[in-house]
Amino acid sequence: MAQNNAWANNVLYSACSALSEPALWAARPGFFGSVGRTLNHIYEVDLFYLDALEQGGKGRAVYAREDYATLPPLEQAQAKADARFIAFAKGMNADDLHATRVTERPDGPREERLDWLVLHLVQHQVHHRGQVHCMLSAAGIDPPQLDDFYLEDGRVPSAAPFWE
């Protein structure tokens, strides 16, 4: 799932690069109101959950950051976060799945199962990538196919490097 996540982000950012900077930040329907703000949100929440998974100790302090104002550095930062997620996932074993991690919530720390945190991180990305997908379509950009990663039949060639 971490590798699929990285591939889907790579494909989505490639499609987003067809937008002009004004179009990237133009008001669009969605929770965060623009493609750029939605991509920043995805990245920021990744930082929060990666910190929890890696037991980095930053907690909600990861939110004390400025949003990226242009696409290229945000894309690079997201790719680094995706690489961290892949490295974390590759280091896990079956016994780790039921381990717990503490997440810092507004009303205090919460202990969560590691497998559920991983699933939530992936689901969060899928949810918001879907919003960007719709925003791209509304902006006149062909939204990319983001579900041809797992099956041998129909797997897109661009997925190959993420299967290594």
pLDDT tens for each residue of 17-33: 999 999 999 999 999 99
Would 25 be classed as within a structural domain? no
pLDDT for residue 142 is more than 80: yes
Residue 137: which domain range?
Answer: 2-20+31-163
pLDDT (tens digit per residue) in 56-109: 999 999 999 999 999 999 999 999 999 999 999 999 999 999 999 999 999 999
Per-residue tokens: 27: 């008001």
Confidence (pTM): 0.94
Give the DSSP H or E segment for 104. Answer: strand 100-105
Is the CB of residue 146 less than 8 Å from the CB of residue 133? yes
Q: Please report, rounded to a whole number, the percentage of residues in the chain having pLDDT higher than 70.
A: 99
pLDDT for residue 164 is more than 80: no
Give the DSSP H or E segment for 12. Answer: helix 2-16
Phi (first) and psi of residue 22, to 5 degrees: -60, -40
Instruction: List, in order, residues 6 or more apart from 84 with CB less than 8 Å away.
Output: 50, 54
Would 26 be classed as within a structural domain? no
Domain count, the chain: 1
Give the DSSP H or E segment for 6. Answer: helix 2-16
13 forms bridges with which residues in the sheet?
none
Would 56 be classed as within a structural domain? yes
Check the annotation: does 128 bind a ligand. yes
Where residue 156 sits, what CATH number does that domain have? 1.20.120.450
Would 7 be classed as within a structural domain? yes
Check the annotation: does 127 bind a ligand. no
Q: Measuring CA to CA, which residue among 146, 120, 150, 119 is closest to residue 133?
A: 146
Per-residue tokens: 2: 């971490």
Q: What is the mean pLDDT of the chain?
A: 94
Secondary structure class of 73 (helix, strand, coil):
helix
